[in-house]
Amino acid sequence: MSDRPLEGITVVSLEQAVAAPYATRQLADLGARVIKIERPEIGDFARGYDDTVHGESSYFVWLNRSKESLTLDLKALEGQRILRELLAEADVLVQNLGPGATVRMGLGADDLAETHPRLIVCDISGYGADGPWRSRKAYDLLVQAEAGLLSVTGSEAEVAKAGISVADIAAGSFAYSGILAALYTRATTGRARAVTVSLFEALAEWMGSPAYYTQYGGSSPRRTGARHATIAPYGPFVARDGEAVLLAVQNQREWARLCEEVLGLPDLVTDPRFARNPDRVAHRDELEAIIAAAARELTSTDLEARLESAGIANARMNTMDQLWAHPVLAERKRWRDVATPGGVVEALVPPASLDGVEPRMDPVPAVGEHSDTILATLGCTPAEIADLRDAAVI
């Protein structure tokens, strides 16, 4: 027995794409056994998004380590029977299938509450299991648009989507924390509470700051590219060598230090155009022109050194290659080797570290890799497993 807190917890997941796999991978990181149900032969369609990681999808490798893959045709009664057998011994069911799919199989949260009272059911949907949009399809970019993220992202001239699947990741994060809360509730009260998360509501929660700013301030934050919409100065400035250095001023003390110690322009501190943050935002173009001119007199190394010396937060605009080789990740030993069907890859350990606990970092499964083993534990003989395969149930 390891010290991982979810050792002994079994999760069955009817999952695809990003949101549910992200939630269940985090449960696996903490030691849970995650049985991933996939379509026979094809598997999770995220396997086909690309083939860049030793022939595997970058999305799939990221989201599916430490899981067991069981292929089941859930349209077949025999496939549903096997699933029900698994649920009899499971602690958690996670699903992000199409709207109403599990309910039509008699596997909705209400159905399972009667037949499996200790099972925690987590349903991840696009816009909620009820309400006017319960049957509407939801993909990440579409949810970014509906939640208003596109309206505040990009340049003044053009909107831009977030460069990652932010709606899916938000929903997966809330599903993960909701399941942990439900497991705690079951352990302390004996009651298994269902968990529901929608992509739209997850991202709407993350949009809290611009939503409040607009509702009570009367205008939406401007799209400002890599700059902060409501704080200034906060963004990139190009140094003499052409490299961009980002800086962020959060308070009046930092503003004074920036002017005096970095820019060498102490008169800016008392300039009424820039006295408070709202003033600096209102006169952003004038302020940024002054800072940009000062930045062009310094190399990026010198500018970064001055910012550090003055205690002003700063960063470089890294590429993915630079992220991969980042000294913080290397020196803090945040990388581990993980096997995939095509070869070994490096993977980041989970960001929340538990003292004395090594996270689980087991292989990424091939489609149906564990089908025979899992079915054998349910009492299926080799001949019966062969029949299931011949019938395309697995």
68 phi, psi to nearest 5 deg? -105, 135
Let me know how long the chain is.
394
Q: Using the Cα atoms of residue 49, residue 170, residue 200 and residue 234 in order, give the sign of their dihedral.
A: negative
- Residue 330, classed as helix, strand or coil, is helix
Structure tokens at 108: 């909705």
Alpha helices in the chain (DSSP H): 19-29, 58-63, 77-88, 101-104, 109-115, 140-146, 166-189, 199-206, 208-217, 252-257, 277-282, 284-295, 300-309, 320-324, 327-331, 371-377, 382-390
Residue 365 DSSP symbol: P
Closest CA to 300 of 237, 227, 249: 237
Structure tokens at 154: 């990009």
Task: Please give the Cα distance from 318 to 326 (Å, whole number).
Answer: 9
228 is catalytic: yes
**H-run or E-run covering 184:** helix 166-189
Task: Please give the Cα distance from 122 to 180 (Å, whole number).
Answer: 11
Q: Active-site residue among 228, 283, 326, 370?
A: 228
Task: Please give the Cα distance from 244 to 289 (Å, whole number).
Answer: 15
User: How many CA atoms, within 13 angstroms, populate the side-chain half-sphere of residue 222?
Assistant: 16
Instruction: Please identify which residue in the block is written with the tokens 């030993």.
Output: 333
Q: What is the largest CA-CA distance in the chain?
A: 85
The residues assigned a catalytic role are 228
